[in-house]
């Protein structure tokens, strides 16, 4: 920037936004430090906020620090839509009917932002992959790092490698959208029928555990680059290339991969070997990308971002490879994280920024009064208890085989429940896995993850990285698998969350109390939501899901509710 953001005596506010096709979000930096970030879907209640502006998310971020839009010094958008639109070569008709995502009237509707006309500066558009890279590097705590960004596409790229040192990011190489790892994986998920209202590629990762890799697939590593063995592309622009790549991938799967038809009525398990083959090919290419990043940077540290970085199995393979000594993946590695990344890109131009992100709790919290009002509106009988009573009662319910809705503190950022908006169960009984999937309306073959006391992580898991964000898969120690069957996947793996007393004292204390009662320092943990809705955010949503499902008990901050017909053995 040519001029300082603000006077040194006035706190600077940078509002980062993610707004494109999905995962709209907002993030707010105050004097270069993260104050708040949250996804739009949590407010609109539409999963992944497809095509939505992050208006409610931005409104909450500002409210959380008592600011208005006119107080914001920089608004940063985590994608360069002007560049993309030029490369896409949109027709005049398309330009007329497609609202510009950086349009203030779209981003900041008057019903939420009365002062939207008083923006201090134009909205800054940051390259999508640069925003991804920044979202992972600046919260990593690393001085220097190799960065791999891999997703469907960002403007003209699908995978980009960066080197970061002392707050500066340098692009090293990029691969086009015709080599997209994100499109490859999402098209494979769609071929297997794992697609509802939006891309649900994560299901393919769970399905892969049931299969044996061996099917021939188009993805490989050749001549120092990812390669997709598809018919020659005829499109020229990134937009057309993306469309053609997705189409040709689907055609390839239909011709070459059992059961040779898309979304067979046989169900997803018919595609288990296909899923295992897709997963292995992605693992292999990502490991080669890591080796390339190591050669180009010489760094001991790796950070990952982009939708592909949500693949826990691949992340586990990268950790096991020990190509890098340390690795960091942010909890919102998907497009929601570009809101934070874009804000950091702008902040780093005028000040030193960065920190070590040890927790994901950057969303809203709610008062006891708000919780009480939600309960009273529902007509449920409830009790307010002390912290010690809360832990004792919740542990008793869990040990009795009951499923507990756990609502505590500030909401998580990212798609994983991390002990703020969680459904919890006893990992000692396989029945817990069944009950959790029934409550959520999920397929029975999908795994449930464990949250474990950080100090006991290596007692149960082989490591090597105790992730606090439930984003790195690892093998469960064979000697422990029978003790915690609810959270062991069919291939012996799990995607554990390591919980420290510093990061989440209350959730840590719950795990500690469960360990003292049962001898097991972990719980089965999945997101607090049912069917296709996003994770709950507000007390009323938690109460509604409790009433409308087979959740047995609800811990809403320090309020406890239990259903009269709750399953499980009787409590003492």
Catalytic residues: 22
List, in sequence order, every residue forming a beta bridge with 560; answer none if it has no partner.
383, 555
CB 240 within 8 A of CB 166: no
Is the omega angle on the peptide bond into residue 427 within 30 degrees of 0, that is, cis? Answer: no
Q: Using CA atoms, how far apart are residues 60 and 429, in angstroms rounded to an integer? A: 40
Of 112, 47, 123, nearest to 79 by C-alpha is: 123
DSSP letters along 509-521, please? HHHHHHHHHHS--
Q: What is the DSSP string of 211-270?
A: S------SEEEETTEEEE--SPP---SHHHHHHHHHHHHHHHHHHHSTT-SSS-TT-GGG
Specify the 3-state DSSP secondary structure of 538.
coil
Total residue length of the chain: 572
429 neighbors 401 (Cβ within 8 angstroms): yes
- Count of C-beta atoms within a 10 Å radius of residue 185: 28
Query: Are the C-beta atoms of 295 and 323 separated by less than 8 Å?
Result: no
Beta-ladder partners of 160: 149, 174
What's the first-to-final CA gap in the chain, in angstroms?
65
Is residue 55 within 8 Å of 41, Cβ to Cβ? no
Task: Report the b/e string of 52-66 with b at 16+ CB within 10 A.
Answer: bbbbbbbbbbbebee
């Amino acid at each position: 920037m040519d001029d300082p953001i603000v006077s040194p005596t006035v706190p600077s506010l940078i509002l980062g936004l993610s707004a494109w096709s999905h995962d709209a979000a907002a993030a707010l930096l105050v004097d270069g430090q993260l104050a708040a970030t949250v996804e739009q879907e949590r407010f609109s209640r539409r999963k992944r906020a497809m095509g939505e502006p992050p208006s409610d998310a931005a409104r909450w971020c500002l409210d959380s620090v008592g600011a208005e839009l006119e107080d914001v010094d920089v608004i940063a958008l985590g994608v360069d839509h002007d560049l993309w639109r030029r490369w896409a070569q949109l027709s005049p008709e398309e330009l007329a009917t497609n609202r510009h995502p950086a349009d203030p009237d779209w981003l900041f509707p008057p019903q939420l932002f009365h002062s939207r006309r008083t923006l201090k500066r134009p909205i800054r558009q940051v390259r999508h992959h640069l925003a991804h890279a920044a979202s992972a590097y600046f919260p990593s705590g690393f001085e220097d790092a190799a960065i791999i960004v891999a997703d469907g596409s960002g403007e003209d790229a699908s995978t980009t490698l960066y080197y970061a040192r002392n707050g500066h990011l340098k692009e090293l190489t990029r691969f086009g959208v015709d080599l997209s790892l994100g499109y490859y994986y999402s098209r494979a998920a769609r071929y297997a029928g794992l697609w509802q209202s939006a891309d649900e590629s994560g299901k393919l990762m769970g399905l892969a555990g049931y299969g044996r890799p061996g099917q021939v697939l188009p993805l490989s590593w050749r001549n120092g680059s990812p390669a997709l063995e598809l018919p020659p592309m005829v499109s020229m622009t990134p937009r057309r290339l993306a469309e053609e790549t997705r189409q040709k991938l689907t055609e390839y799967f239909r011709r070459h991969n059992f059961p040779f038809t898309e979304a067979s009525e046989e169900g997803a398990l018919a595609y288990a070997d296909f899923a295992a083959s897709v997963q292995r090919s992605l693992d292999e290419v990502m490991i080669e990308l890591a080796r390339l990043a190591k050669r180009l940077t010489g760094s001991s540290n790796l950070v990952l971002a982009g939708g592909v970085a949500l693949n826990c199995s691949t992340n586990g393979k990268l950790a096991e490879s020990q190509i890098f000594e340390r690795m960091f993946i942010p909890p919102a590695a998907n497009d929601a994280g570009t809101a934070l990344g874009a804000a950091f890109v702008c902040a780093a131009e005028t000040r030193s920024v960065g920190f070590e992100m040890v927790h994901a709790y950057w969303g809203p919290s709610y008062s006891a009064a708000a919780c009480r009002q939600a309960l009273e509106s529902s007509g449920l009988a409830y009790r307010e208890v002390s912290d010690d009573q809360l832990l004792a009662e919740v542990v008793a319910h869990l040990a009795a085989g009951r499923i507990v809705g756990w609502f505590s503190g500030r909401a998580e950022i990212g798609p994983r429940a991390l002990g703020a908006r969680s459904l919890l169960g006893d990992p000692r009984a396989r029945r817990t896995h069944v009950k959790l999937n029934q409550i959520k309306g999920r397929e029975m073959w999908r795994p449930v993850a464990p949250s474990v006391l950080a100090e006991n992580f290596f007692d149960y898991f082989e490591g090597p990285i105790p992730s606090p964000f439930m984003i790195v898969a690892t093998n469960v120690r064979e000697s422990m698998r029978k003790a915690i069957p609810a959270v062991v996947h069919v291939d012996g793996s799990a995607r554990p969350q390591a919980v420290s007393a510093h990061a989440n004292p209350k959730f840590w204390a719950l795990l500690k109390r469960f360990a003292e009662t049962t001898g097991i320092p972990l719980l089965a943990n999945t997101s607090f939501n049912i069917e296709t809705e996003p994770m709950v955010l507000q007390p009323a949503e938690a109460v509604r899901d409790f009433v409308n499902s087979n959740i047995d008990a609800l811990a809403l901050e320090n309020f406890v509710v239990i259903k009269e017909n709750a399953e499980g053995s009787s409590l003492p």
